[in-house]
Amino acid sequence: MEYTKNFDIRNGRNLTMLVDFYELTMGNGYLESGAGNTIAYFDMFFRKIPDGGGYCIMAGVQQIIEYLSNLKFTNDDIEYLREKNIFSEKFLDYLKNFEFCCDVWAIPEGNPVFPNEPLVVVRGPAIQAQFIETMILLTINHQTLIATKANRICRAAKGRPIMEFGSRRAQGYDGAIYGARAAVIGGCDSTACTITEQMFGIPAVGTMAHSWIQLFSSEYESFKAWADVYPDNCVLLIDTYNVLKSGLPNAIKVFNEVLLPKGYRPKGVRIDSGDITYLTQKCRKILDEAGFSDVNIVVSNSLDEFIIRDVLSQGAKIDSFGVGERLITAKSEPVFGGVYKLVAVEDDNRNIIPKIKISENEEKITNPGFKKIFRIFDKTDNKAIADLITLQEEVIDQTESMELFDPVFTWKKKRIKDFYTKELLVKIFDKGKLVYESPDVMEIKNIVKEETEKFWPAVLRFENPHNYYIDLSKGLWDLKQQLLHEYSSEYEE
Amino acid sequence: MEYTKNFDIRNGRNLTMLVDFYELTMGNGYLESGAGNTIAYFDMFFRKIPDGGGYCIMAGVQQIIEYLSNLKFTNDDIEYLREKNIFSEKFLDYLKNFEFCCDVWAIPEGNPVFPNEPLVVVRGPAIQAQFIETMILLTINHQTLIATKANRICRAAKGRPIMEFGSRRAQGYDGAIYGARAAVIGGCDSTACTITEQMFGIPAVGTMAHSWIQLFSSEYESFKAWADVYPDNCVLLIDTYNVLKSGLPNAIKVFNEVLLPKGYRPKGVRIDSGDITYLTQKCRKILDEAGFSDVNIVVSNSLDEFIIRDVLSQGAKIDSFGVGERLITAKSEPVFGGVYKLVAVEDDNRNIIPKIKISENEEKITNPGFKKIFRIFDKTDNKAIADLITLQEEVIDQTESMELFDPVFTWKKKRIKDFYTKELLVKIFDKGKLVYESPDVMEIKNIVKEETEKFWPAVLRFENPHNYYIDLSKGLWDLKQQLLHEYSSEYEE
């Protein structure tokens, strides 16, 4: 069955009004003060990688596309806004006839991304570019957070499949649905969330809960009933009463009595509580001795990358993991702090006037201007060396050597040669027209695999990783310094 | 304008397939093994109050009602399931003709709730009662988490209004929408999330972002433009460049030059960065001296209950708060661990057979049977003394004295008299028919206020609160002991 690529359109859900109210008060203000059609440039970027990791995984672009393709204010929306008594009829007319006309660039989903580089760039009339702030942030922040967390958890599992199990603890319905999407992008193999298979073609999986076992007169009867119904895909949950004294013996009994006589091999046992290392080692041994060395041991129960690493390093015998609440909420750091900042405007002659947001906190100072990003690879080993953020008009001569320098400690320099570059930002809307086709989720998952392999293992560590370089071009650095000096002289003591 | 009570119905979004896949494999299994129509009882409850608090605020019942009222499998859903090649035609027919027929009880939204008491009780055919597990957990877990967090933050603000500002950092679209709903239930006054005003009648508010200021040729020009457009509701963001040297002086200049001559009073200034205590004290003094003692100071910037308590205790001069990411994600503890457990089944003669889920971890042992909860109040001061969980058939004689005892340390006893009780669980569906009308969000917000006032302040503390008693009746305690002894004798060493 063809899955439905676009759930919200299929379901007719219109998220246009999911917008911070100040985008509307500002929009009305821009229009009323004559600045509504000023061409503005906004960058969406983040400042810090969650959990002290070495990179993030870009996710959410498909949903941005769906949102931007379907911006539409209904008559009810206009009526609601009119009754707030603060918007002009001119503004309401503008919304009523809203036609999205911005240019939008984004880093395609699945790419490793780093702090301070624009993940999304928007160019368009201030009133429009401002309006879409909320949904761009909400979408990219959420999915990038979960994809990044999932990628950490999958790395900890060292190739063992991870099933996403978190729907019941997600923060809202979309937290479950798009969270599962992002989790699979980040590396999970499947999800328990059924609707995501219909929407995205992600495999939905699941077996039984403890209630199945409790509902029958005994654990043995419940296993037997299950094996009768699902002889070719029999995974039994063995920790309802006592894994070693009851669950596993009953499972093996049912494997022998029900499945083997019918010519089926059992698939697995699942453990959802207790001392994972001890129990899985014991179970593996007992299963092997009973002739079931092909039966998988599946483990769940409040797992994350640290617990998975620990139990594996202690020799736990686990074939796959179900990971729930700590993945679907990114529990250890549940906020991805992406921001959306004005970086330039155009004057009446279409000259780009760069803008900077200063702050007493140096990390919060923005990179001004209309920019692009080059990922630089070493020709000899095809590994990524650094990302270079440049102004739009800058060109990199790949035949020459190039000097990179640290944007803070500028005396830290590195001259590179024999490199090639890849531009990261791709145009997805041209004057409001969609010009990009989003890959399927399973293709994006492959992009993650391919692109992360281009980084040195030191960057991929999930604690104390090597800091990958995000450098500014000389042109961008000079512009930033110039703007900073202008502002600081204005506010000197 | 009448707000639309039911967003998902209005938008035609069908969440029936937002279900853990194992609910479906179990459903098919129940049906195939002849247990599909066994009447099962499930309790939804939680074990631990987030952030070490003294109580939680129940939220999400309205959305459970909407979900249960609209359960429907489309032809596409059936086709999708058929192609999985594991479900019987009998099961697919059952889903195709699905008619919800369970009884459902819930504690109404806005009530303080405590660990181990059932928040939702479901009675119905196993196949149905099992199926709705995912959405009941997802809905109640999410909204109760956020309502509880919001209630903490509002208590820290000691009556100062809180605006919910978190949409951009929420975990998905519903995280923003229903998160804002839950935040207002918990005590917030308003939200930046526009669509929630249309959906729930929650006031949506907002002014300007830093981009407004940056877009103009100067901060002064930007303030002037704003005051021209919004003379009667002028709140200016004063931290784009420098609060004391630029933002506040420019704001006062615009107040004097633009607003006062037109006969308007300015409404406020907002600070989104820097040392809140110092800056607000300075600003208050300067505003007062400039004749603007009626101008409010609004503060935002990664706030939570601890920061709010700290800055207020240091004498910060703040009139209202905007609280974003740490509220909308419940950042300090972003998982609400509600569970849904089988507690009883009916035999062929409609006798209730209690079920227990045992565990090596004592806290994870469930309370068996079909139950109800009484909140017990002292007649003299109308304060809540304890919640008492009883079996359904038990009656409390309010004219007699009653002995309460600790369910673990049973020698800890207390005899009470002159009390009255209130049953907490209310029937919301009777054999699948809705028999309850959910109050509006703003009414639920009032319930929170009224009901929390019935608890002693010691329970309301947000650190190290007094442990409110959740006791079991003698009948329930005896039943639980009996079942525990039966199981433990079965697995003795």
A342 to chain B nearest CA, in Å?
6
Q: Inspect the interface and report whether the beta carbons of B273 and A86 lie closer than 8 Å.
A: no
Put simply, the answer to whether A173 touches B138 (Cβ < 8 Å) is yes
* Cα–Cα dist B453/B463, whole Å: 18
SS3 for A304? coil
Longest dimension (CA), chain A: 88
Query: Quick one: pLDDT at residue B204?
Result: 96
Would you call A208 and B11 a contact, using CB atoms and an 8 Å cutoff? no
Q: Is A24 an interface residue toward B (CB < 8 Å)?
A: yes
Q: How many Cα atoms are found within 13 Å in the side-chain-facing hemisphere of B242?
A: 11
What are the 10-residue block averages of pLDDT along chain A, 493 residues in total?
A: 46 85 98 94 97 97 95 95 96 98 98 98 98 98 98 97 98 97 98 95 94 95 97 96 96 98 98 95 98 98 94 97 98 98 96 90 89 97 96 92 89 92 98 97 97 95 90 95 86 58
- Phi and psi angles of residue A94, each rounded to the nearest 5 degrees, phi first: -60, -45
Low pLDDT (below 50) residues in chain B: 1-10, 493
Tell me how far apart the alpha carbons of residues B255 and A66 are, in angstroms, rounded to a whole number: 42
Is residue B70 less than 8 Å (CB to CB) from chain A? no
The pLDDT of residue A398: 87
Chain B residues touching A254 at Cβ < 8 A: none
Ordered by where they begin, the domains of chain A are 7-146+334-490 (3.20.140.10), 151-328 (3.20.20.70)
Best B31, B173, B238, B336 member to test A by mutation, with max A CBs in 10 Å, is: B173
Please state, in angstroms and rounded to a whole number, the distance separating the CA atoms of residues B32 and B92: 12
Decide if A170 and B167 are in contact by the 8 Å CB cutoff.
no
pLDDT at A137: 98
The backbone torsions φ and ψ at residue B369, rounded to the nearest 5 degrees and listed phi first, read 95, 170
Find how far residue B48's CA is from the centre of its chain.
14
Phi then psi for B216, rounded to 5 degrees? -90, 170
Regarding beta strands A384-391 and A469-472, do their DSSP bridges make them parallel or antiparallel, or are they unpaired? parallel
Query: B361 CB contacts (<8 Å, ≥6 apart)?
Result: A273
The three-state (H, E, C) secondary structure of chain B, written as one string: CCCCCCHHHHCCCCCCCCCEHHHHHHHHHHHHCCCCCCEEEEEEECCCCHHHCCCEECCCHHHHHHHHHCCCCCHHHHHHHHCCCCCCHHHHHHHHCCCCCCEEEECCCCCEECCCCCCEEEEEEHHHHHHCHHHHHHHHHHHHHHHHHHHHHHHHCCCCCEEECCHHHCCCHHHHHHHHHHHHHHCCCEECEHHHHHHHCCCECCCCCHHHHHHCCCHHHHHHHHHHHCCCCCEEECCCCCHHHHHHHHHHHHHHHHHHHHCCCCCEEEECCCCHHHHHHHHHHHHHHCCCCCCEEEECCCCCHHHHHHHHHCCCCCCEEEECHHHHCCCCCCCCCCEEEEEEEECCCCCEEECCCCCCCHHHCCCCCCEEEEEEEECCCCCEEEEEEEECCCCCCCCCCEEEECCCCCCCEEEECCEEEEECCEEEEECCEECCCCCCHHHHHHHHHHHHCCCCHHHHCCCCCCCCEEEECHHHHHHHHHHHHHHHHHCCC
Give the pLDDT confidence score for residue A4 in this predicted structure.
47
Number of CB pairs, chain A paired with chain B, less than 8 A apart: 331
Alpha carbon of A470: minimum distance to chain B alpha carbons (Å): 24
What is the torsional sign of CA B196, B201, B203, B205? positive
Chain A 413-442, residues with CB within 8 Å of chain B CB atoms: none
B209 and chain A: CB distance < 8 Å anywhere?
Answer: yes
Write down how long chain B is: 493
Rounded Cα distance between A482 and A489, Å, is 11
Nearest to B342 among A30, A42, A214 (CB): A214
Identify the pLDDT of residue A5: 45
**Chain B residues with CB-CB distance to A204 below 8 A:** 21
User: Shortest CA distance to A163 belongs to which of A18, A315, A298?
Assistant: A298
Chain B interface, best mutation among A85, A171, A328, by max B CB count within 10 A: A171
- Confidence (pLDDT) at B416: 93
The answer to whether A214 faces chain B, any CB pair under 8 Å, is yes
* Residue B192 to residues A50, A471, B197, B205, B206, Cα–Cα distance (Å): 25, 36, 9, 5, 6
Q: Please indicate whether, in this complex, the C-beta atoms of A194 and B168 are within 8 angstroms of each other.
A: no
Q: Is A229 on the interface with B (CB under 8 A)?
A: yes
Mutant choice from B3, B13, B16, B22 vs A, greatest count of A C-beta within 10 A:
B22
Residues in A 129-168 with any Cβ partner in B closer than 8 A: 130, 133-134, 137-138, 141-142, 145-146, 165, 167-168
Q: Find out whether A160 and A300 touch, Cβ atoms under 8 Å.
A: no
Distance between B319 CA and the closest CA of chain A, angstroms: 19
A206·B83 Cβ contact <8 A: no
CB contact under 8 A, A204 and B228: no
B229: closest CA of chain A, how far (Å): 6
Query: Hey, what are A327's tokens?
Result: 């993945």
Q: Do residues B146 and B465 make contact, with C-beta atoms less than 8 angstroms apart? A: no
Q: How far is A57 from chain B (nearest CA, A)?
A: 16
**Torsions phi, psi for A51 (to 5 deg):** 60, 20
Q: CA nearest A204 in B: which residue?
A: B21
Q: What are phi and psi of B45, to 5 degrees?
A: -150, 170
Instruction: Name the residue among A119, A21, A15 with its Cα closest to residue A61.
Output: A119
Cα-based distances in Å from B475 to A240, B373, B471: 25, 13, 11
Q: pLDDT for B404-422, tens place per residue?
A: 998 888 888 999 999 999 9
B403-406: Cβ within 8 A, 24+ apart: B404/B376, B404/B469, B404/B471, B405/B471, B405/B477, B406/B469, B406/B471
Would you state the pLDDT for residue A408?
84
pLDDT of residue A360: 73
User: What are the backbone dihedrals phi and psi of residue A114, each rounded to the nearest 5 degrees, phi first?
Assistant: -130, 165
Q: Which of A22, A40, A195 sits opposite B208 (nearest CB)?
A: A22
Mutate to test the interface with A, among B138, B239, B258 (most CBs of A within 10 A): B138
CB B20 within 8 A of CB A168: yes
* pLDDT given at position A492: 58
Contact A33/B225, CB-based, under 8 Å? yes
- Mutation for A interface: B19, B127, B144, B171, most A CBs within 10 A: B171
Residues of B in contact with A338 (CB under 8 A): 168
Is residue A379 less than 8 Å (CB to CB) from chain B? no
A32·B228 Cβ contact <8 A: yes
Instruction: Name every chain A residue with its beta carbon within 8 A of the beta carbon of B233.
Output: 86
Whether A92 and chain B come into contact, CB under 8 Å, resolves to no
